[in-house]
Structure 1
């Protein structure tokens, strides 16, 4: 295979430059420690945010994977921000030109208009609105320059610096770092491949089609304008689903919209290749035509059917305050190295003590604080951390994507307190949790969502 020397030199320069930046930031953090600052989770979080793309994503991975990381680090990284200063449109235009303007064509041949002001800017990509020559309104998700090179370089050196981190921060010492780094690599590199995200969208759309669901929609992908670094999708217009007043412009019953959202997501757990694992308020929209829009499929999860059913049973038992059943479902979730060694009654007692403490402190349940407040987000994270911590003490090891699924369930719970305060996720007749009455087969009503 012929290697182009200029490209190789540029790549090598970028790798060296990235390593220089990393050493510089790490050096400043080491200087802070030398001056007497405690080398704790907060310092590591500050350092990661300075290092940018890769380390912000690692911080978010730490925050969403409490089964692997010490509690103080999970808490420190909960507010690891992924909003970055927008890049100049000149850079974005160059990426679009490199990726889409082929065979002598120009961007003007592809697009009638591209808004130079971004809709959003995060560590991996920047989003711009555009219009095609046929009048279609689209959004362009454009990967930032050298993101993959930066990530590969950063992940490569992480193996080397891990030993130093373990020496400075003993609580970050793990039984085996290699599987964790491999997991981080898989998740992060998947986010840099927009062809993979496009496939996630198509999988979801196929699920909607097969299940006859016409109440929910995902953006249409324009395959001829999509590459690994550029994702072109139809632009959806609507309002946030945490703004009940705005929603009533396009629907009669916001609670029913919430039920339709839940039914769709629960069904996708069993019948879609993956489930959307990041349905926060920014990724859900009530469209002007009354349909529900699921956005941004960069983060998806996958869970074995038996683990999912046990998780649903655990959440139902939690809702019913049945801690013996909750403990048994945790054991049945295949989360233990030796399930016969787990004392179910002892685990149930610990779960009951934990939940009573949480409920006693949980003033936000009835305070009327809006869902998107930081207090309720912190409460959500604390509840998940407590569940995981109790499990750890009993030798329970959670499936890889359990944290993603649990956080989404808890997110929906808080979402409903604002949008549909009278709705109960587990007992409302409008909400069909698959396998609730028969864990081997989906209920007919659960698929009858159109």
Structure 2
């Protein structure tokens, strides 16, 4: 049963879609051809159609529906290879050009959070937003010390909108799992739960600041990536103040080209940064759409917006690394075996069949640059393979898959000639060598040496205690063995007595019966 509040939100979503004329776009698709007559029920049909292009209508609909829908549009905007050009160009605007909220509202939030006026906190504050996104907007400012900073302010009343939309997603997921068998395999409810955790974390700017500091520490003095510094005294749950950076948006290809950017190196470094964060640091920026990534010419990345980050368990990390390496080495049998061993596909799956299916999907795309790979067709074939073999989706990896999709999309825009496989393979081989080789095991032993040395004086006592425990256990076992022998003897003796008693009773009963027979009177 859908809750009244959720039902009202659903009605509002439909009203917004109709207001922007999306009912016309939806009904024009082949999937809904059979019910196109419903267009006559739409107010837009009788009141007149909007003249705005379809891409603008889709963007405006997502903006009006709120942060979750904007996030969805941002993710799609990185995949221009999967969308018509007019729609993709409009969705790019969702990255940092969402309609802002009033500057006066921003001022009130900042002053309430900091407990001081804007003049006390900043020497200068620009009321015109530098950028505005789904969850927050950014203003420029100058500290009294002279440093140029940006001030990120959380949108007012955003938590309530997100909670209502997540509740609606849960309802859809539950209905899907109830009536659509594939939804259970896709673990729809668990995926929504993972998404809820991720987006609610984004509402705490102190958490985001901590994420930024951690990644900044991981890439300290790096030639690959620069992370701006956080100004902690002015950072609160709804306000974040950090160093202002200057760079060219990674999606502005014309500006990069005019600045003689090294596109090949940028594409390769993007892949290297991703694998470094996932496998070396196990802490990765999971919202790497072009609105959050800038370039310091000629080939260094600058990153902002760390509200969404991800990490993996040790098991998932090693398992993924082995899978990637097996893919790069065309070892499809190993990939199939690992999927079965991990429980991602049923244990009854035939390795040979699954190996052949994986080869059919992956072999056509190897040793090809990004520009020659149809990722739309690849995704379709992956979904078909997953359905055929009842492959279970892993919710804890959805964030990683989204990030990989973003990285691949950036690589396609920057340098379509990039060979993704050859760029990533050396990194993973080195990672395995560092983690699993003899030198890695020696380092692990040396790291534990102080702990072992500290416990050395206790070893004689531990050995003595172990020996005493063993002796006591042996005595207990011997005691129990003696008790078992006595018990068996007692049972044997009892069995003999019981047998004689039964025979005696039987004889007495037989004699009594014989005496009662007719003609036997003594």
**Shorter-chain TM-score above 0.5:** yes
Change (3 A) 1:231 1:217: same
2:285 to 265, 269, 276: 276
- Identify the residue that residue 114 of structure 1 maps to in structure 2: 125
- Structure 2 Cα separation of the partners of residues 328 and 195 of structure 1: 43
Higher relative contact order (Cα pairs below 8 Å, separated by 6+ residues): 1
The CA deviation at 1:407 is 4.4
- Structure 2 CA distance for partners of 1:430 and 1:287, relative to 1, 3 Å: farther
Q: Distance in 1 between matches of 2:64 and 2:153?
A: 21
Q: Which segment drifts farther, 323-332 or 291-300?
A: 323-332
* Match of residue 110 from structure 2: 96
Match of 2:209 among 165, 174, 198: 198
Q: Distance in 2 between matches of 1:238 and 1:46?
A: 26
Q: 1:56 aligns with which of 69, 73, 97?
A: 69
Highest Rg: 1 or 2?
Answer: 2
Unaligned runs of at least 5 residues, structure 2: 24-34, 41-57, 78-86, 440-522
Separation in 2 of the partners of 1:267 and 1:249? 27
Q: What SS class does the counterpart of residue 221 from structure 1 fall into?
A: coil
* Cα distance between partner residues in 1 of 2:333 and 2:307: 37
- Determine which structure has the larger helix proportion and give its number: 2
Offset, 1:305: 3.3
Rounded Cα–Cα distance in structure 1 between residues aligned with 2:437 and 2:402: 23
Corresponding residue for residue 371 of structure 2:
365
In 1, Cα distance between equivalents of 2:416 and 2:245: 27
Offset at residue 421 of structure 1 (A):
5.8
**What is the DSSP-based 3-state SS (H/G/I as helix, E as strand, rest coil) of the residue aligned with 2:212?**
helix
Contact kept? 1:132, 1:138, Cα under 8 Å: yes
In the TM superposition, residue 301 of structure 1 has moved relative to its aligned partner by 1.9
CA drift at 1:140: 1.8
Q: Note if 1:427 corresponds to 2:422.
A: yes
Is 1:285 aligned to 2:294, yes or no? yes
2:351 is the alignment partner of 1:344: yes
Gap regions ≥5 residues in structure 1: 1-15, 39-44, 65-75, 367-375, 445-450
Native 8 Å contact 2:6 2:164 kept in 1: yes
Whole-angstrom CA distance in 2 between matches of 1:246 and 1:144: 32
Q: Give the 3-state SS of the residue equivalent to 2:427 in structure 1.
A: coil
Answer whether contact 1:114 1:130 (CA < 8 A) is retained. yes
**Cα contact 1:118–1:126 (8 A) shared by 2:** yes
User: 1:436 and 1:227 mapped to 2: Cα distance?
Assistant: 38
Secondary structure of the residue aligned to 1:187 is helix
Deviations 1:135-191 (A, max 9, x none): 21112221111001222344446656777x659x95598447653443232122111
Match of 1:395 in 2: 390
Deviates more, 1:388-397 or 1:408-417: 408-417
Aligned residues of 1:259 and 1:431 also touching (Cα < 8 A): no
For the 8 Å contact 1:435–1:442, the answer to whether it is kept is no
The aligned length equals 390
- Would you say the 8 A contact 1:327–1:348 is kept in 2? yes
* Aligned with residue 314 of structure 1, among 314, 319, 323: 323
Residue 13 of structure 1 corresponds to none
Relative distance call for 1:162 and 1:429 in structure 2 (3 A) is closer
Equivalent residue in structure 2 for 1:85, among 81, 94, 99: 99
In 1: Cα distance, 2:387 partner to 2:272 partner:
31
**Change in CA separation of 1:430 and 1:321 when aligned onto 2, cut-off 3 Å:** closer
- 1:73-119, Cα deviation, whole Å (9 max, x unpaired): xxx99x6956532222222222222222x1xx310111222222222
